């Protein structure tokens, strides 16, 4: 995959993410007998959290959050979903800019190539 393809892929990822995120707060009509009045909201999040810390050489260095606390992590993710969604969007937008710059450099390189006469 070249830089231009990677840029196109990054833009598509951002578009798909935004389409998903825009469901939050958007009125919907399914399941309301066509009356509407319900709005999309984050209702579930499931994640895993791992801490990297190594007490001494040879000791375990990856420590997963105990399964007993998965529910707490999930509810925290739902409560803070607006922040998390904004952070994800910023990461994707930054990636698009990086890929756009790489694609522009490739385009400049292609345009500067001298064709044999």
pLDDT tens string 33-79: 778 888 999 999 998 999 999 999 999 999 999 999 999 999 999 99
Look at residue 117 in the predicted model and tell me its pLDDT.
61
Look at residue 33 in the predicted model and tell me its pLDDT.
78
Q: Chain centroid to CA 47: how far?
A: 14
- Report domain extents, the chain: 3-111
Residue 115's pLDDT band, with cuts at 50, 70 and 90, is low
Select from 20, 6, 30 the least CA-distant residue to 95.
Answer: 6
pLDDT tens string 8-46: 999 999 999 999 999 999 999 888 777 888 899 999 999
Cross-strand pairs, 62: 52
Q: Considering the entire predicted model, what is its pTM?
A: 0.83
103, 6 contact by CB (below 8 A): yes
């Amino acid at each position: 995959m070249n830089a231009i393809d990677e840029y196109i892929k990054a833009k598509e990822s951002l578009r798909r993410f935004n389409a998903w995120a825009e469901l939050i707060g958007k009125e919907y009509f399914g399941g309301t007998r066509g009356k509407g009045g319900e709005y999309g909201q984050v209702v579930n999040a499931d994640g895993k959290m791992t801490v990297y810390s190594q007490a001494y050489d040879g000791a375990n260095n990856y420590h997963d959050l105990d399964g007993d606390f998965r529910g707490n992590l999930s509810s925290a993710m739902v409560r803070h979903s607006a922040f998390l969604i904004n952070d994800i969007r910023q990461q994707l937008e930054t990636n698009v800019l990086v890929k756009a710059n790489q694609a522009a450099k490739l385009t400049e390189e292609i345009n500067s190539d001298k064709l044999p006469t």
